[in-house]
Amino acid sequence: MRRGERGFTLIELVLALSIVAVMLTMLFGGLRVGLRAWQRGEERAGTLEHARSMSYLLEQAFGGAYAYQGQTDQNSRPKILFKGEAEKVSFVTVSAPLPLPTALAFTAVTFSMESGVSPGLAIREKAVPNFDPFEEVVPLVVDPTITAVRFRYLRDADSGSWEDTWDAAEERAMPRAVEITLTAIINGRVQEQPAILIPVRVTTP
Q: What is the pLDDT of residue 27?
A: 67
The number of beta carbons lying within 10 Å of the beta carbon of residue 162 is 16
Q: What is the pLDDT of residue 191?
A: 85
Residue spans of beta strands (DSSP E) within 63-160: 65-66, 69-70, 79-80, 82-84, 88-93, 106-114, 120-128, 141-143, 146-156
pTM of the shown model:
0.72
Apex 179 CA angle, 176 and 183, nearest 5: 165
Q: What is the pLDDT of residue 186?
A: 77
Q: What is the pLDDT of residue 38?
A: 46
Domain count, the chain: 1
How far apart (Å, rounded) are the C-alpha atoms in residues 200 and 54?
Answer: 18
Please spell the DSSP secondary structure of 10-31, one letter per residue. Answer: HHHHHHHHHHHHHHHHHHHHHH
Q: What is the pLDDT along the chain (205 residues), one digit of tens a residue?
A: 454 555 567 676 667 677 766 676 766 665 565 556 545 544 454 544 555 677 888 998 999 999 999 877 677 788 899 999 999 999 999 988 887 777 678 999 999 998 878 889 999 998 888 777 887 788 888 988 899 999 999 998 777 889 999 999 999 999 999 999 999 887 778 888 889 999 998 777 7
Q: What is the pLDDT of residue 28?
A: 62
Q: What is the pLDDT of residue 80?
A: 92
Q: What is the pLDDT of residue 1?
A: 44
Residues pairing with 190 in the sheet: 185
Is 9 part of any domain?
no
Is 10 part of any domain?
no
CB of 153 within 8 A of CB of 166? Answer: yes
CB of 120 within 8 A of CB of 112? Answer: no
Is 170 part of any domain?
yes
Domain coverage including residue 56: 52-199
Q: What is the pLDDT of residue 51?
A: 56
